[in-house]
Amino acid sequence: MREVPVHVVTRRQWLGALSACAASVAVPAWAGAQLEEPLVDSVRSALSAAVGDLAPPEPVFVSTDARMAYLRWLTTMSDKLHRRMPDWEVRCDFLQTVWYEAKRAGLEVSLVMGLIQVESGFRKFAVSVAGARGYMQIMPFWTRVIGDGDAGKLFHMQTNLRFGCVILRHYLERERGDLFMALGRYNGSRGKDKYPNLVLGAQKQWLFDPNAPRKA
């Protein structure tokens, strides 16, 4: 009888295959559900304009000091995020985009980082039970209300971060600057303290003092 050659799969190859498989599967996330609410035409138009024009997130600095402060922030945040995002290029691109989109929306970068930590654990393809997607757990209805209707784009990094920051800014304006209530609205749990407290607690891990002495 002719012997059939057996391909021996090494442990490294097996783990690699598992990793590739896992990367292609949407990972569940702990998140609530943003509620679809009626928007007046002026607000819808403003939000549509705000999420459009996804130019490359290139930071612009008014001075050398500002640029150096950004680079120190990037280095510090990269060190903190290394365990969750081992790949340097992916991590750097993510942090630069978070910084750009948060600043563009007038939000504290540390707040956005804390929200992402709570919403998705920094997982690009996270999906909640309610169907929210991506880093900032955006409900698909937003792409219909203020986007082009393609919910698949919510797994694109900059698109997801753009929507998340614009939506949070919208909720802050609706709540007249009340961050506690805005965070609750973002999570679909307005008036309850669990989610805002989680985000504000996580935010502390991502605070950055540009004047703090550098570690040797």
Divide the 216 residues of the chain into consecutive groups of 10 and give the mean pLDDT of each group: 39 39 44 72 84 80 92 96 96 96 96 97 94 94 91 94 95 96 93 94 94 63
Q: What Cα–Cα distance (Å) separates residue 190 from each residue in 35, 83, 175, 182, 199? A: 10, 32, 10, 7, 14
pLDDT at res. 214: 62
- Tell me the β-bridge partners of 27: 126
Q: In degrees, to the nearest 5, what angle opens at C-alpha 194 toward C-alphas 189 and 200?
A: 105
Closest CA to 184 of 29, 43, 34: 34
pLDDT at res. 32: 60
Q: For residues 29 and 169, what is the distance between their CA atoms, to the nearest angstrom?
A: 22
pLDDT at res. 10: 42
pLDDT at res. 3: 41
Average pLDDT of the chain to the nearest whole number: 84
**122 DSSP assignment:** T
Q: Which long-range contacts (CB under 8 A, 24 or more apart) does 52-55 make?
A: 54/158, 54/159, 54/162
State the amino acid at position 161 in one-letter form.
L
8 A C-beta contact, residue 171 and residue 182: yes
pLDDT at res. 2: 40
Q: For residues 31 and 186, what is the distance between their CA atoms, to the nearest angstrom?
A: 10
Closest CA to 106 of 169, 179, 171, 184: 169
Q: For residues 73 and 26, what is the distance between their CA atoms, to the nearest angstrom?
A: 30
Does the pTM exceed 0.75? yes
